[in-house]
Amino acid sequence: MAPKNNAPTSSGSTSVASSPAPVKNALNLEVEHAVFTHPELFGEFPTTTYDPIPELPYENRALKADPSFKNRLADATVTHLEPKIGTEILNLQLHELTDSQKDELALLVAQRGVVFFRDQKISIEDQLALDSEKRIKTQALEPVNLWHSDVSYERQTLRRPIVEFEHPVVRTHPVTGRKALYVNAQFTTRINNLSAAESASILRFLHQHIAQGHEFQVRYRWTKDAVAIWDNRATVHYATYDYLPGNRHAVRVTPHGETPYFEITNEP
């Protein structure tokens, strides 16, 4: 399941492995356990830890973009998959983008929530090069499936000592100025200044609203070498476990982002 338009930007590409070997899963269904293209990027239980870091400067590339998108879309086919969220771009290779085109892509992702690409000839290094910030985090193991925005429990969302930060329930998007819910069942623990019962009741309502809001949701069918880039500031996502007895192998790169904030404006 692709993101819901509901919070830095993430990209993931799929790859299909060779030399499969049949195994039995928990449901006693025979599945093919493949040798994947990038086994070194599997989730793991790392023992390396890092010291806390200060807040890092952040430059939002979308703010430098040409809003007419004249640098990026000349030869590309652009299809808006749903009215409010989700765009697919064909006939465009991400590893060939210029800096100006990357800026415009960042703006489009901010506006549409998630942008999809197929048949990408893109390496791990190419994915990292899409963002100019320092790479800080490599692997993370996430044990559950929930609608969530990635590592929203960190101040600037980057493996360090257990952290606890306060973020606004509603955040202002730094590019579009729109307001977005910034809660999810995986990371949000409570709403401050409310009783435990009040907080739990409101969060339950908000989580249900996000999970059941089909009118601001898009679903994408993965293919080999497909890439999705979603805006973690204004979307949540859910990886649907519906591909048995096949395998799905995705590589994700998460760039650096700014600290969430709420600004009182006249914007919706």
- Using one digit for the tens of pLDDT, what is the confidence trace for 74-133? 678 999 999 999 999 999 999 999 888 889 999 999 999 999 999 999 888 888 887 654
pLDDT confidence of residue 165: 81
Reference 77, options 110, 123, 116, 131; nearest CA is: 116
pLDDT confidence of residue 14: 38
Token duo for residue 245: 């007895």
Q: Looking at the 3D structure of the chain, how many domains does it have?
A: 1
Distance CA 87, CA 111 (A): 10
At a CB cut-off of 8 Å and minimum separation 6, what does 241 contact? 145
Domain membership flag for residue 147? yes
CA dihedral 182, 142, 114, 38 (to 10 degrees): 160
Domain membership flag for residue 127? yes
In the predicted structure, residue 42 carries a pLDDT above the cut 60:
yes
pLDDT confidence of residue 143: 43
How far from 131 is each of 43, 59, 82, 110, 261, CA to CA, in Å?
Answer: 22, 11, 27, 15, 22
Domain membership flag for residue 8? yes
Domain membership flag for residue 238? yes
At a CB cut-off of 8 Å and minimum separation 6, what does 266 contact? none
In the predicted structure, residue 28 carries a pLDDT above the cut 90:
no
In the predicted structure, residue 60 carries a pLDDT above the cut 90:
no
pLDDT confidence of residue 20: 47
In the predicted structure, residue 12 carries a pLDDT above the cut 70:
no
Among the ranges given (58-62, 151-155, 188-192, 228-232), the one the predictor scored with the smallest mean pLDDT: 151-155
In the predicted structure, residue 17 carries a pLDDT above the cut 50:
no
In the predicted structure, residue 209 carries a pLDDT above the cut 80:
yes
pLDDT in tens, 210-252: 999 999 999 999 899 999 999 999 999 888 888 788 888 888 8
**pLDDT higher for 155 or 47?**
47
CB 183 within 8 A of CB 234: no
pLDDT in tens, 126-169: 888 876 544 444 444 444 455 556 555 455 554 556 667 889 99
Residue with tokens 């506006």: 111
In the predicted structure, residue 2 carries a pLDDT above the cut 80:
no
pLDDT confidence of residue 83: 94
Domain membership flag for residue 264? no
Domain membership flag for residue 268? no
pLDDT confidence of residue 142: 45
Determine the structural domain holding residue 101 and report its residue range.
Answer: 4-253
pLDDT confidence of residue 74: 65
* CB neighbour burial string for 74-112, b if at least 16 within 10 angstroms, e if fewer: eeeebeebbeebbbbbeebebeebeeebbbbbbbbbbbb
- Is the pTM above the cut of 0.75? no
Domain membership flag for residue 265? no
pLDDT confidence of residue 225: 93
Domain membership flag for residue 267? no
Report residue 31's pLDDT band, with 50, 70 and 90 as the boundaries: low
CATH number of 21's domain: 3.60.130.10
